Amino acid sequence: MADSVTSSPEQCGEEWGEIEQFVAEISELSQTSDSLHAFAAEALDRTIELLGAAGGGVWMMDEQAGLQSLCQATVDAGLPDAALTASESHTRFLRSVLDSGRQQSAAIPPAMATGDRPQRPRQRPDGLHEAYDWTGSPLRIDRDVIGVIEVVQSNSVSPAARTGSERLLAIVADLAGDCLRRQRLKELQVAVDRWRQYEALCQRAHASLDLQDTAYQLVNDGRWFIDCDRASLLVPVRGRLTAIATSGVDTLDRRSDLVRSMEDLAKAVEPSRQWLRYRGTTDQFPPQLEQPLCAFADDSHSQSIDVVPLLAPSDAAGDAAESLVGMLVLEKFDASIDPASEARIVRIANLCSSALRNAIDYQSLPLLSLARWLRRTVRYGNLQRRKLVIAAAAVVLAIVALRVIPATHYVAAQGEAQPLIRRNIYAPVDGEVVEVRGGHDESVAADQVLVVLRSRDLELELERLQGEYQTTEKRLLAIASARVQTGFDKPSARIPGQLAAEEQELKQQLASLQTQIALVRKQRDSLEVRSPIGGRILTWDPEDLLADRPVQRGQLLVSVADLSGPWVLELLIPDRSVGHVISAQRIERDVLDVSFTLATGSSPTYRGTVKQIAGRTEVLDQQQASTRVLVSVPNEATELLRPGTTIKAKFDCGRRSLGFVWLHELYETVRGWILF
C-alpha cells in the first residue's frame, strides 16, 4: 500500500483491486481452513505483506493462562524481539484492546525499540532511529472479545495509509472471528454427535442384563466410540480375571497365547487398580508390570495399550471402598495419540462399570433360571393372549374337524400279477437234461414234451432187472424139465415135492421182476417231461438254463401258464395293516373292493375284489411280516398285464373319521411304544 498521501487515479484503482482480491482470498481462506491457527498464520502473513508492516501476531485469551500467542510473523529484520513478546507495555496494550473492544494503536516505547539486538537499528534518512507502532484489532465471537490481531508498522506511514491499514486489519479480524465461529460450531456439532452416539451406546449397553450380551455390546460399541483398533473385557470369575469378550470376534479361544497374556497383564494391574498407559516403551513401569506387558505387546503387536480398571461402589454396608468389576483393555496398532481419546475412555469406563455391575448382580440372583422362565411365561401370556386364544380356537376346530369329517380309509399294499392257471414243472428223477423242446414265451399244447432227461441209474437198474428176469426164467425151465424126467432111482435125485416148491418160488420171482421192470420203464418214460396244460412257457431262455446240465429230483425246470385265462393279484399286506382289511371284510360281509394300478404309473386305475386272505403271516426274503391276499382282476385289465408285473393297490376299508385316516399309524406306533 502506498505511503504517500496523494496517488494517481491509476494507482488508486490498482490498489483497490488488490485490496478487494485480498479480502476475497482471506474470506475464502476463513471458510476452507481446518483450524484457527492455520487461518491466522496464513492471513497474518498476507496482511503483513499487503500493508508492508514489519511484523504482527495473533493473541488469544485463555481464562486460566491469560493471553497466549497463537502465531507471529516478522518481516523487518530491524524489528526488536520485544515488540512481539508479552512484555509489560505490550501486555498492557493488548489488554486495553481486549477491555475496550475497539481497535487501537500505540507507539512502541523507545526502550523497546532500541532493544538489545545484535543488528544495528534502522535509521531514517534524517539520522533518527526508526520508530514502530502497534495497531491492534479485537477478535470477536458475537459480543465476546476473545483475542487480538495486531501488526507492527513504522510510524512514518501517512495518516491515510494508517487509516486504510486499520480498516483492513478490522476486516481481517472480522473474518478471523467468522472462522473461529464456524470452527466452534463444527466442534459443537461434533460434540453433539458424540453425545448422541454415547446416549445410544448407553441405551444398548443397559438394554440387556445378560453378562455375555452386555460384554459384547460394550466392547464392539466402545471400540467404535473410542476409535481404537481392538477392545477386550475381562471380569472376575472364581477370583481370577477372565476374558469374556473381544471386539470383532464371536467367540474367544481360551487356550490362545493372546488371551492368556491378556489375562496375565490384567492380573498384574489388578493390585494397583491404576490406569496403565503403554505407548511403545516400558521404561517407566516396575518389573512386575514390565514382563506381562511386554509379553502381551509381543502377542498383540499393539503400539498403544490402555488397561483401565473398572470400579463400582461396593455392596457391603458401610464400605466406602470401590470393588473391581472388570478390566477394559484397549489396543491401537499404530503410535498415533488422540488427546481427546482419554476423555472418551473415561466415559466408556464409567459406562462399563455400571453395566457390568448390573449384569453381575443380576446373574448372581438365586433361582435366576426359574425366574426367567416365569417371566417369559407371564410376558408371553400378557402380550400374546389374543394369539393364544386364536391358536386354541384353531386347535379345537381342527380336533372337531378331524373327528367329524368322514374320509375313506385305504390300506396300501404291493404285489404282482399272475395268471390263475399256471404250473411249475419239476424234475421227476435225478438225471441230466438231454434236450429242451421249447423257448421263452412259446406256445405249448397240453401233454407236449418240453424237456428230455436221461438217467443212467435207471438204465443200469433196468438192465439189472432184465438180467435177473432172464436168469430166473431159465432156472424155471430147468426145473420144469427135471420134473418130467423119470430117473428117480438115482440116489441124488430130488423128490418131486421139492421141485414143485422151487418152481413156484421162481414163478413168484418172475412176477416180482416183471412188476419192477414195469415200474422202471414207467420212470424211464417220465424222463420225457410234458406240459400238464396248454399255454406259454414263462421261464426265461430254458435252453441256456437247462441244456446238458444235471438236475435233481424236485428241481424246477420250466413254468407254463395260460395267459388267455383269468388273472389274479398276489398282494402282500404289512402285518400292522392286515387287521383293518380283515375287520372291513367282516363288517361288509361281502366282497371287499380293491383299487390297483401298475407300478409304472402309465396305466389307469382298475377295481377288483378280494378272493382269499391267507390264514397265516409270512416273512419273505427278510422283509417285514406280511399276509398274502388274492384279488381278482377284471377282463379289461388283463391286456396290460404280464406275469410278475408289479402292482400298487389300495383296499377300501370303509368310511372312518378324517383324524383316524390321517393319524392312526402314529397312534398305533405311540401306543406300541408306551404299552409294549
| Domains, the chain, with CATH or none | 13-109+130-186 (3.30.450.40), 208-364 (3.30.450.40), 366-404 (no CATH), 422-484+497-560 (2.40.50.100), 566-675 (2.40.30.170)
144-154 and 55-62: which strand pairing?
antiparallel
Amino acid letter, residue 607: R
Cell of 41: 498464520
Q: Which of 541, 614, 619 is nearest to 581 (CA)?
A: 614
Residues in the chain: 676
The helix/strand/coil state of 4 is coil
- pLDDT per residue as tens digits for the range 356-383: 888 888 888 777 777 777 777 776 666 6
The one-character DSSP state at 531 is: -
Note the pLDDT of residue 576.
85
pTM value surpassing 0.85:
no
Note the pLDDT of residue 330.
93
Contact 209, 215 (CB under 8 A): no
Contact 39, 26 (CB under 8 A): no
Instruction: Classify burial at 588, counting beta carbons within 10 Å of its beta carbon; exposed 0-12, middle 13-18, buried 19 or more.
Output: middle
Instruction: Classify burial at 402, counting beta carbons within 10 Å of its beta carbon; exposed 0-12, middle 13-18, buried 19 or more.
Output: middle
Within 33-71, residue ranges assigned H as helices are: 36-51
Cell of 263: 489375562
Measure the CA–CA gap between 264 and 300, rounded to whole angstroms: 13
Q: Which of 356, 350, 366, 330 is nearest to 235 (CA)?
A: 356
Cell of 384: 400374546
Cβ neighbors of 618 (< 8 A, separation 6 or more) are 625, 626, 627, 628
Amino acid letter, residue 179: C
Amino acid letter, residue 330: L
248: left (phi over 0), alpha (psi -120 to 50) or beta: left
- First vs last Cα of the chain: how many Å apart? 115
Torsion 467-472-475-481 (CA) sign: negative
The one-character DSSP state at 109 is: P
Contact 239, 231 (CB under 8 A): no
Cell of 666: 402314529
Instruction: Classify burial at 607, counting beta carbons within 10 Å of its beta carbon; exposed 0-12, middle 13-18, buried 19 or more.
Output: middle
Express the helix, strand and coil content of the chain in percent, nearest 5 each. 45, 25, 30
Cβ neighbors of 445 (< 8 A, separation 6 or more) are 531, 534
| Whole-Å CA distances, 144 to 8, 98, 99, 181 | 41, 9, 10, 11
The helix/strand/coil state of 625 is coil
Measure the CA–CA gap between 561 and 428, rounded to whole angstroms: 20
Note the pLDDT of residue 495.
63
Note the pLDDT of residue 282.
85
Measure the CA–CA gap between 418 and 478, rounded to whole angstroms: 64
- What is the arrangement of strands in the sheet containing 443-444, beginning at the earlier edge strand? 422-426, 556-561, 535-537, 443-444
Torsion 621-623-625-626 (CA) sign: negative
Q: Which residues of the chain have pLDDT under 50?
A: 2-8, 113-121, 124-128, 486-489, 491-492
- What is the arrangement of strands in the sheet containing 322-332, beginning at the earlier edge strand? 240-246, 230-237, 322-332, 304-313, 276-278
Measure the CA–CA gap between 601 and 594, rounded to whole angstroms: 17
